[in-house]
A and B are shown apart, each in its own frame.
Chain A
Amino acid sequence: MQWDIVIGLEIHVQLATKTKIFSGSSTAYGAEPNTQANAVDLAMPGTLPVPNEQAFRYAVMFGLAVNAEIERRSVFERKNYFYPDLPKGYQTTQLERPIVGPGYVDIDLSNGESKRVRIHHAHLEEDAGKSLHEDFHGMTGVDLNRAGTPLIEVVTEPDMTNADEAVAFAKKLHSIVTSLGICDGDMSQGSMRFDVNISLKPKGEDELGTRTETKNLNSFRFMEQAIAHEVERQMDILEDGGSIVQETRLYNGDRDESRSMRTKEEANDYRYFPCPDLLPVEIDDSFIDEARNSLPELPDARKARFMEQYGLNDYDANLLASDSKLAAFFEAAAERGKDAKLASNWVQGEFSARLNAEEKSVAESPISGEQLGDLVVRIADNTISSAGAKKVFEALWTGENDNVDAIIDSQGLKQVSDTGALEAMVDEVLADMPDQVAQYQNEEDPKKRKKMLGGFMGPLMKASKGQGNPKLFNEILVKKLGG
Chain B
Amino acid sequence: MDINNKKKYNKRYSTPLKVYNWVVLLLVFFQFNFVFSQENVPELDIDVTDGVVEPIPVAFPNFITTDFSSSIIANEISRVVKNDLLNTALFRIVPDGSYISDVTSIDSPVRFADWRAINSDLLVVGDVTVVNETITIKFRLWDVVGQNEIFKGVQFKGPSNSIRRIAHKVSDLIYSGVTGEGKYFDTRIAFISERGPKNKRTKRLAIMDQDGANLIFLTDSKSIVLAPRFSPDSRKILYTSYETGKPRVYLMNLMNGNLRTFPELPGMTFAPRFSPDGKKIILSITDNGNTDIYTLNLENNLKKRLTKNVAIDTAPSFSPDGKFIVFESDRGGNQQIYVMPSKGGKAKRISFGKGRYGTPVWSPRGDMIAFTKMYKGNFHIGVMRKDGSQERLLTKAFIDEGPTWAPNGRILMFFRETSGVNGAPSLHTIEVTGRNLKKIELSSFASDPSWSSLLK
**Is B one of A's binding partners?**
no
Residues of chain B at the chain A interface (Cβ within 8 Å): none
Residues of chain A at the chain B interface (Cβ within 8 Å): none
